[in-house]
Amino acid sequence: MKVKCIEKSSPRSDGVPGGATGLTVGKVYTVAEIVIGRRDVDQYSIINDEFRMARYNQCRFEVVDDSPVRPLREAFNSLTTEMRSRIKQLESRGY
C-alpha cells in the first residue's frame, strides 16, 4: 500500500505540541503496517523522511495504491535494502 501525505500541521494524537515531524506534504510513502485503534486512532507505520519507522494518523494521508500491506518484517527489509547497500558501499570506501 502506498499513501501520500496531505497534511502534517494538525495536533499530534500523543499530545506532543506541534504537528507531525518527519513527513513531507505531497510525498508518497510505503505502508509497512496498519495499526488499528491505537489511542482510538487508526495509524500507518512508514519509514519517514528521517529513515525511522514511525506511526502517523491515517488522516494525514490519502491512499494512492491500495495493494495489500506486506508482513512487517518483509516490508521493513524491502524498504531498507537500498539504504543498507549504500551504507556498506560507504563503509568499504572508509567513510
- Return the pLDDT at 84: 86
- Return the pLDDT at 38: 59
- Return the pLDDT at 78: 79
Q: Per-residue DSSP letters for 21-43?
A: SS--TT-EEEEEEEEEEETTEEE
Which stretches in the chain have pLDDT values below 70? 38-39
- Return the pLDDT at 39: 63
Domains held by the chain: number = 1
What residue numbers bound the domain in which 28 lies? 2-92
Residue 37, Cβ neighbours under 10 Å: how many?
A: 8
- Return the pLDDT at 89: 92
How far is the C-alpha of 53 from the C-alpha of 62, rounded, in Å? 19
For the segment 55-72, what is each residue's pLDDT rounded down to a tens digit? 999 999 999 999 998 877
